[in-house]
Structures are given as C-alpha cells and as structure tokens.
Amino acid sequence: MNVYTIGVGLIGGSFALDIQEHYSDAQIFGIDANESHLQEAKELGVIHHTASYEDLPNADVVIAAIPVDAAMEVIPKVLDLCNDNTLVFDVGSTKSKIAQVVKNHPKRRNFLATHPIAGTEFSGPKAALKGLYRNKTNIICEVEKTAFKLQERALEIFQKMGMRIRYMDVVSHDKHIAYVSHLSHISSFMLGKTVIEKEKNERDIFDMAGSGFESTVRLAKSSPAMWTPIFEQNKENVIETLEEYISNLETFKRLMQDGKFNEVYEEMHNTNHIKNILNGIQ
C-alpha cells in the first residue's frame, strides 16, 4: 500500500507511524513545503521516501495533514492527480469550506472529509507519536459522497488505529467544534497573553505557575500558522461562542463585585457536572 502524507508534522506523521505499525507492506511517502521537515521525517523513520505531487498517481491513500487554508488549494490539486482508486482524506478542524471546494470536483467520490480529535501543542516531525489516535474520536462528514469501497478502506485504517467513529454533517461539525476546541484554544492564548502582559518578570511566571496554570495555558503553545486559518474559516461560529463565553465571564465578575459568593459557589458547583460528561466519554 502506497501512502502519501502531505504534511509530515504531528498529525500527518502520527498517521504515518500508525499505518506502518498496522500495515507491514505500507510504503510511506512524504510531501511537505518545508524541505528540512521532509529530511527530518525520513531520518526519524516517520516516512520512508520523500515525494512530490507528480508521484500521486501511484498513491493508494493520500492524507492531507496541512493547515485548512492550504487544504483549500491542495485537495482539488490532489484529486486532479490521483487515480480513480485512490482514497484522499483530510484531517482539518473545519469542514464546511472544504466541502464547498470539492463539491463539484469530478473525483469528489475519492475524497473523505475527516477530523480526528487528537493532537498536542507541539508541531513538526519530532512531535509525531505512535498511538496518538487510539481511543480518540474521528468525525467523518458527508460519508455518503465517498465511494463505498474507499469508505471501507478508510474505516479499516481508522479501526486498526483504534479510533471511535462519529458521523456528522459539516454545519453541525463546525458549530460544535467551535465550542469544544476552537474556544479552548482562544481561552488558552488569551490567558497566556494576560499573564505575559501583567507579569513582566518571566522568572516569576516560571516559579509561581502551578499545574492548573500549566494545563490551562498548554494550548497557547500551539502553532498560530495552523490556528489563524481555522478561526478565519469558522469565524461566525467562533464569534458566537466567544460572545457567550464573554457573557459568562462578565456575569462571574459582577457576582464577585457584588459580594454574591453563594452564587459564585453555585456557578462553579453547577459547572462541576462537566466531570460527569467527560467521564462518560472516556
């Protein structure tokens, strides 16, 4: 099986490692705009060979693991080049825009829109991890628009990697992911910004930061080059979630200003229900 990953960083590289683990005959080819990333990925064993777009007619599987703005241009190009039996899937955090881009492509049935809910705050080939996707949810959108034999190929790969599959339409995906992922990243970035601006002494931040701060601000280490296009493509949903979040923060602040700490307690106590929700997911 010839697998081409476009983007050899955390997401694409982790797919490459897992596919090697489960398919002994798999040959992994890497395509990346960053030549040093390609060489690093090869040295680390993330990929077996470097490649170019001209090689894609030989592909059985193509993984587009690139920022969502780049995917808008790259995926139609990949579909132009691939053969009729090639499975092409993306892993982007927004789905509506890419669905529109490929909607009328002659090889639309070669494409599967996916979003594995997995990752870390790190990037590049060194960030790739075996088992990153085990027990993680993979959202698949518009599955009915993908050729059935290619659906089967994709599901076999995902199941071997230990993913849970969830089907969703693109509009629902983008709305829900704005709450559970995109807002989390904005909150983390803005918490980091606030602390940097107020705590001018970096040593104080290092010495005084506890595990709560570290876990909350972890996502602020994520790549702005990846996240800015996500916020742009999902702008309406992200703004709606931000308005609700800001409203909750304002309410919490007013309760404190008014000395209503019984109500502050109730706000936090009611929110403790999130533990039950998350425990049910695990």
Domain range holding 12? 2-168
Those residues with Cβ within 8 angstroms of residue 68's Cβ, 6 or more apart along the chain or in another chain: 92, 93, 94, 97, 98, 229, 230, 233
What is the maximum alpha-carbon separation in the chain? 68
pLDDT digits (tens, 9 = 90+) for 40-76: 999 999 999 999 999 999 999 999 999 999 999 999 9
Do the Cβ atoms of 79 and 104 come closer than 8 Å?
no
CATH code (residue 107): 3.40.50.720
In a shared domain, residues 203 and 265:
yes
How do the residues of the chain divide into helix, strand and coil, expressed in percent and rounded to 5? 60, 15, 25
pLDDT score of 281 more than 60? no
- Indicate the residue among 116, 146, 168 that finishes a domain: 168
Collapse the DSSP code of 92 into the 3-class scheme (helix H, G, I; strand E, B; otherwise coil) and give the result: coil
In a shared domain, residues 271 and 245:
yes
> Which amino acid is located at 123 in the chain?
S
- Indicate the residue among 168, 185, 207 that finishes a domain: 168
The mean pLDDT of the chain is 93
pLDDT score, position 203: 63
Structural Rg of the chain based on CA atoms:
21
In a shared domain, residues 133 and 30:
yes
Domain count, the chain: 2
Within 10 A of 273 (CB to CB), how many other CB atoms are there?
A: 9
Do the Cβ atoms of 226 and 67 come closer than 8 Å?
yes
- Indicate the residue among 168, 185, 216 that finishes a domain: 168
pLDDT score, position 209: 60
E strand segments, 148-216: 164-168
CATH code (residue 201): 1.10.3660.10
pLDDT score of 251 more than 60? yes
